[in-house]
Amino acid sequence: MNELFVQALPILKKIEDNGFEAVFVGGSVRDALLNRTIHDVDIATSATPDEVKSIFSKTVDVGIQHGTVLVIENGESYEITTYRVESEYVDYRKPKEVKFIRSLQDDLQRRDFTMNAIAMNMNGDMIDPFGGQQAIQRAMIETVGNANDRFSEDALRMMRALRFVSQLSFTCSDETLQALKDNQDLLKNISIERITAEFEKLLCGVNVQEALQLLIDTNLFTYLPGFSDKKNELIQVAQYDLHKVCNVDEKWAVLLYYVVNLNEVESFLRAWRLPVKRIRHIRAILQAVYHENYDDKMTLFTNGIDCSLSAIRVSYFLKHQDSKQAEEQAIEIWNSLPIHDSSQVNVNGTLLTEWSNREKGPWIRETLHIITTKIINEELPNNTEAIYKEVHRCNLI
Ligand code: ATP
Ligand code: MG
């Protein structure tokens, strides 16, 4: 049994000692069967949230309406979720009612795919009523029960199917694949945030090329923000093995290089509800890719080393070239820069206004830019006296 399961065994035992059932379930059991790294274990129980809270002294209500209680024991925290069924879905996404139940089998039945509907008890025995282990052995994604029904209950499951194709290199069963094609339009009912979370996992999987191809073949891509008329562009992206790109923002940059113009990047990513900071970062990477001047000191300084290295990796990846040498060169130039941040310049706007007796205005920014450029290019030492002389000599103020 994996170390993380062993660590959590006392939790299961405590629940069972109180007369309830408790098992490991979901992604951690699946990943353990696949010998993949497990990050956290999910525990399911026949005890209601109130009963769980009465068993443990330290608990937090993290999602009590869904039946999840966070238990803190020996400095570790565990999410414990009551067995439940979700009756009657509204708008293909929201269960009308979550009902707590005592039957593990019924809880497993409401789960999306057979590989995710396996439970493991304290002794390491598998409870696997839907043939999940067999599906894992055959590397198959198959829904628990009828695929059409399951996708129309919650259309996000279609995106989950594709992200598992990408993460696990599994294949969709024929029935699942057909249902993806038949229910594609239901994806429009799903909130962007949920789609984005699954799509980013898809982008980061080892088998991303296959998953992108499936997005195209099933037509699901048309329901992703900004992609409805981008089939040809997506086909081009699917030629690349995005798994070889370093991180998710660089993967976005490669994707967007084909899908939109630089001036459309921001609105495109806003539609995906990405945080503003990440949107700016991805846009800066792309701008540097278009600019393609990685050895220029001022460009390096302005973009910063992280963005510059990302731009180099993206740019070389797009050209099918190895970026290692260019990255090393950029790091060398970066390390040789006299300053790495504009706050290190030994003059500021207030000092410039004092020196010039001029009103504050856009000239301050322009002057600071000229001074910074001279410092970066080592035409001017970064000390206040030298800067004072230089601004007068060049009539900058
Ligand atoms: P990951 O390793 O990325 O966390 P996961 O399978 O654990 O993958 P989660 O989103 O953490 O995915 O969900 C935990 C479990 O809850 C799943 O394994 C599955 O049994 C169930 N589940 C999650 N989302 C759905 C859904 N939309 N419909 C049905 N069951 C779901
Ligand atoms: Mg999980």
Q: What is the pLDDT of residues 73-129, one digit of tens each?
A: 989 999 999 999 987 666 666 666 789 999 999 999 999 999 999 999 999 999 999
Look at residue 358 in the predicted model and tell me its pLDDT. Answer: 86
66 plus 85 within the same structural domain: yes
Instruction: Judge if the beta carbon of residue 153 lies within 6 A of ligand 1.
Output: no
Atom of ligand 1 nearest to the CA of 154: 27
Domain's final residue, options 107, 134, 161:
134
62 plus 118 within the same structural domain: yes
Q: Are 118 and 128 in contact (CB under 8 A)?
A: yes
Q: Which of 24, 19, 26, 20 is nearest to 3 (CA)?
A: 24
Centre of ligand 1 from the C-alpha of residue 337, in Å:
48
- For ligand 1, atom 30: residue with the closest CA: 111
121 plus 183 within the same structural domain: no
111 plus 215 within the same structural domain: no
* Spatial separation of the C-alpha atoms in residues 190 and 186, rounded to whole Å: 8
155 plus 100 within the same structural domain: no
Query: How much is the average pLDDT of 281-287?
Result: 96
Number of domains in the chain: 3
Centre of ligand 2 from the C-alpha of residue 5, in Å:
14
Centre of ligand 2 from the C-alpha of residue 38, in Å:
9
CATH classification at residue 160: 1.10.110.30
Centre of ligand 2 from the C-alpha of residue 226, in Å:
28
126 plus 147 within the same structural domain: no
Helix axes 276-291, 248-259, angle to 10 degrees: 60
3-class SS of residue 71: strand
Domain's final residue, options 222, 244, 266:
244
64 plus 189 within the same structural domain: no
The answer as to whether 226 is a domain residue is yes
Q: Kindly state the tokens that stand for 282.
A: 């991805």
Domain's final residue, options 111, 134, 157:
134
- For ligand 1, atom 28: residue with the closest CA: 112
- For ligand 1, atom 27: residue with the closest CA: 157
Centre of ligand 2 from the C-alpha of residue 185, in Å:
26
Q: How do 22-25 and 119-120 pair as beta strands?
A: antiparallel
- Domain hosting 183: range is 139-244
Tokens 């322009």: give the residue.
366
- For ligand 1, atom 26: residue with the closest CA: 112
* Residues 238-258: tens digit of each pLDDT: 999 999 998 999 999 999 999
Q: What is the pTM for the complete model shown?
A: 0.91
- For ligand 1, atom 15: residue with the closest CA: 26
pLDDT above 90 (res 338): yes
CB atoms within 10 A of CB 358: 13
